[in-house]
Each structure stands twice: as structure tokens, then as C-alpha cells.
Chains A and B, each alone.
Chain A
Amino acid sequence: MNPSQRVADIFKRLRRISIRKAIPTIKGLPIIPAVILLVFVICGLFGKWIAPHDPVKINLDDTLIPPFWQEGGSTKYILGTDGMGRDMLSRLIFGANVSLQVGFTVIVFSGFLGTVVALLSGYLGGWVDIILMRVVDIFLSLPAIVFSIALAALMGPSKKNLIFILVLVMWSPYARILRGAVLRIKNDDFVDLAIVAGASKARIMFRHIFPNIFNTLVVLATLQLGQVIIAESSLSYMGLGVPPPEPAWGTMIFDGTKQLLMHWWPATIPGLAIVLVVLSGNLFGDWLRVRLDPKFRQL
């Protein structure tokens, strides 16, 4: 190997050092993010049985108790209580339920919509493609945050509306990217074979092409999870998302803002939860991307 090749080789190797390797992994699966996500899902699904206290009941005797490691804290309320005496930990756990519900539903629906549009548009081509892509472009060119706020204002805050709005905002990237994948797969041999065998267009699209774009879909969905959670919490923070008294992490942060001057934990702790989950989602999605679809580097 001559010197310039050696230099090039070193460069290439250096570039592969990524933050993924800084986190302990099992066969490449980043453990900590996976565990965090698992905890999140478990809290989301089984929160009712895990939470130590009632997240909604107002308890004016025990307001603003600090987390147990600080002075004045107790192990009765491990992460302290908020301004209305509600246990932080229980609210966090129930908030996970809200985030999981909203996040999962939004991803499923927007993924579904995006996939269908991508399949029809990519495989059928022609007018269908042109029209559908125009629609996708329209949605892509809407400013997301402003759009969701305006819609939330016009429709009124509720979980259902929130899900509807977020789906509207988030489905178009799926359509765009999956369409590209469909176009690439369309020309593969097995599609031709299916046509020769007499398969109908619908059958080809859903039984043959779809399984091949499924990987891309899953990667996209995982990467979007973080965005959905942040979007949902932002809208809740502004009072336009999940309405009280249901504990959403964003609403908790809003409530905590009033106490920020004297008490740091009501506002900080829910935010940390969000950061942890979103970060884990992103890292996990990163790993999934490399594992499932190495060609897929665009994102």
C-alpha cells in the first residue's frame, strides 16, 4: 500500500467512528436507547398499574415537594410533586401513555397514508402519479408548526384533533421517500415475473412491492417517533394539544414554568423524559437504518 492509499484508508476508517460505538452495544444494537424505549413503552401500556399515585388528584397538602435526593424530599414522592401536589413520577408515567398513544397512532396513520399514496403513485405512474405528487408537494410546502397551531386553534384542543393535525403534517415525507423506493423496486425481475404470471396491479402492489419497502417504512417511522413526541409536547405546552387534566409531558412543563423561579423540578423533569425518549428513538432508528437498509443513507 503506498502512502496516499494508506492515508485514504485511515481517513475512511476514522470516518466510521460514530457515536454509536461510544454507547455499549450488543451485536450493534445500542443497549441504553433500546432499554429506554422499552421502559417508555411499558410505562405507556401498563402505566395504570405501575404508577405509585393518582396523577390527576389534586393534593394541596403536598405541593412542591422536591425530588427525594434533595432536602425536604421523601421517598413517598420519588421525583417530587408539582404545584398542585400531584406526584411527578406518576404523571410522568401517565404522560408516557399519552405520548405513546398519540405518537403511535400518528405514525401508523401517516405511515399508512404515505404508503398507499407512494404505492399508487410509484407503481401506476402517469396521471395518478402527477396528481398525487402535486398533493404531496402541497402538503410538504406547508409550514408545519404554524399550520398545526392554526388548525388546533380552529378545531379546538382535543386528543383526536391533535392526532388528525399531526397526521396531516407528517404524512407527506413518507409518500415522497417511499415513492422513490417503489420506483426503484418497480423494475426488478420479480415484478416482471408476477406480471407474466397474471397478477393484478393491486396484487403486485400490495403483495410484492410493499414487503420490499417495508424496511424503509419502519426506519422512517422510528425516526419520526421523536418528531411526533416533540410536536405533541410543543402543542400541549402552548395549550393547544392534549387538554388538561390528562397529564401530557408538554402540559407538565407548562405547569412547571410558573414554579421555575423557586422550584426547578416540575419543569425540568418532564423535559428530561422527552429528551431521553426522543434521543433513544433517534439512536435506535439510526441503528435500524444501518441494519435494515444500508443503501438508505439519504436520511
Chain B
Amino acid sequence: MIDLELVLDNLPLYLRGTWTTLWLTFASLALGLVLAVPLGLARTSRNPLINGPVWAYTYFFRGTPLLVQLFMIYYGAAQFAWIRESVLWPLLSQAWFCALLAFTLNTAAYTAEIVRGAVQATPRGEIEAARALGMPRALVLRRIVLPSAFRRALPAYGNEMVFMLHGSAVASTVTIVDLTGAARIVNSRYYSPYEAFLTAAFFYLLLTFAIVGLVKLLERRWYAHLRPHPG
């Protein structure tokens, strides 16, 4: 039924695609996380001038499809002369940069809301105790709030990592040969959709399990103090 020879012949293409998927996903996740921490903290602010714009940003990026966001950047940037004449144009005219930008902004929006939820769940007493010990606000943030917030955010962030991996498949719609792109090439070349897409699905499944396993490992480490002690 499945033509394994066809799959093996195209294995190098799939492996290159897997590599593209991996670096796009993890570069976006890393950049998105760096953006998300200050954005998430801004969302906990009571000042509407700080909270409002970040709220609008996360509302837009969480309320619209990633595919449309990617098209807005990849196809949309060329509409404006000031972008075409800017120093960023050599980057913005390339598919990989647009995908990286769209994915980063998207995951940053979701992650910012995860950070907000985790920070807001900090027990008040912990902050009050730290303040009472004379810690300045920045130190409270660094030593008390963020470490426990990261711990609380881990399960939700693990889901976000999987969503980003799966979401990155839309990169194949803007000429990028990621894992899905490789499958689309194989399908159009041999007209064998089962081999083409099931192979990609298999690789995605492996990557998903790897991420889930990684998060489980981290959870075991970070929640070690919460495990019941033997004896």
C-alpha cells in the first residue's frame, strides 16, 4: 500500500524540512518568550496606558488566524513604499524572515497571556513578606514573583510550544520548504498523497512527543519539592 521506496528516496528532503521546521519553531518560541515576559507583566499593570496597548496587541494576535497574520506581513509589507525603501526591506522581502516575525508576534501574544495569568496567581502573602523584608520591587519580581510564575506557567507553555510547532506548518504556504512544504513537494511530484503527508505526519508526531517529553522532564525537576516524600 504505502510505497516505502518513495519515502526513503525523499528522506533527505524531509530531513531538511524537519530542520527548517525545528529552527523556525524554536527561534520563534525563544524570541516570543523574551517579548512575552515584559508584555505579560505590562498586562498586570493597573495603568491603562501600559495595560491597554498590550491588551489590544494580544487581543488581535489571539483573535485572528496565524495564516492571515503571515499573509499580512509576507504579502502586505510590499504595499507600503516606506517599507520598501527602509533598511528592513532586504529582510522583509524574504519568506523566512516574514514567517519568523509572524510566528514570534503570534506566540508572544499567547505567551504574554500565560505569563499574566501565572503572575496574577502569585499568593499575595509572598509578595507582602518579601516587601516587609525590605526587598525593592525589582528584586521581589526577580526572586519571588517570576520564579514561581514560570513554574505555574509550565504546563500551559508546553501546550503553546506544541501549538507553535503545529502552527509553523503554514510556513509552507509562503514558499518555505519546511516539513509540510517537503510533503507538498513530494505530493505534487509523484501524486502520492498518502506517502507524502503520512511521512510528514509521522515526523510531526515524533517532534510533538519530544516536546511533551521535554516538558514532563522539566516539570519533574521544577516540581520536585512538591512530590510526596517517601517515608
A binds B: no
Chain B residues near A (Cβ < 8 Å): none
